[in-house]
Amino acid sequence: MKKIFLSPALIALLLAAPVLAGNPPQATAQIKDAKGEPVGTASFVQQPKGVLVTVEVKGLEPGKHPMHIHAVGKCDAPDFRSAGPHLGDHKMAGMKGSMAMETMAGDLPELLVGADGTGKAEVLNPEISLGSKSLLQKQGTALLIHDATKPSKRIACGVISTNPNP
């Protein structure tokens, strides 16, 4: 049997090929509220320096809504606790003080929802990818939107998937 050796540089080039070829890896999430009603979409597109995350919503209460990627690809209503902790939260276990304020991979900026109930956010997150440190890990991941006035309350959720109709 003939053995094949692939150098780390060649492996990196093969993994980057879809991005370099103009067809970057992509994923989506259909965001639903606690009643199971659709309230928005999210898209995730691999870029050379991270993942471009675009979130669009309608029908939410006005305000600044915390938004995170969570470590489990489940969105069981009504509280969405099935989505688990923030992606990367395991690194923060046991840390206190200023170390606890470090950015986790799943952190996203707040989603500003206007008086009409619509909002849009777009951010390049360098801490995640659709390859290594992947959003497409075995247990999946989910995008969660939290309540503007009570941030611990999870109000909308979408499982991140390469399937456009999960």
Identity at 67, one-letter amino acid code = M
| Separation CA 114–CA 6 (nearest Å) | 52
The more confident residue out of 94 and 34 is 34
What tokens does 158 get? 């979408």
Q: If you average pLDDT over residues 24-43, what whole number do you get?
A: 96
What pTM did the predictor assign? 0.78
Q: Which of the two residues, 136 and 10, has the higher pLDDT score?
A: 136
The predicted-structure confidence for 66-76, as pLDDT tens digits, reads as follows: 999 999 999 99
H or E stretch covering 157: strand 154-159
Give the pLDDT score at 71: 93
Tens digits of residue pLDDT in 154-165: 999 999 998 765
What value does the mean pLDDT take over residues 54-63? 97
How many Cβ atoms are within 10 Å of 108's Cβ, its own excluded? 20
pLDDT in tens, 88-138: 875 444 444 444 445 678 889 999 999 999 999 999 999 899 986 689 888
CATH superfamily of 24-159: Superoxide dismutase, copper/zinc binding domain (2.60.40.200)
d(CA 76, CA 26): 24
CA distance 100 to 10: 37
Residue pair 135/128 in contact by the 8 Å Cβ criterion:
yes
Query: Token pair of 128, please?
Result: 């995640």
Q: What is the spatial distance between Cα 92 and Cα 83, in angstroms, rounded to a whole number?
A: 18
Residue 46, pLDDT above cutoff 70: yes
pLDDT (mean) for 35-52: 96
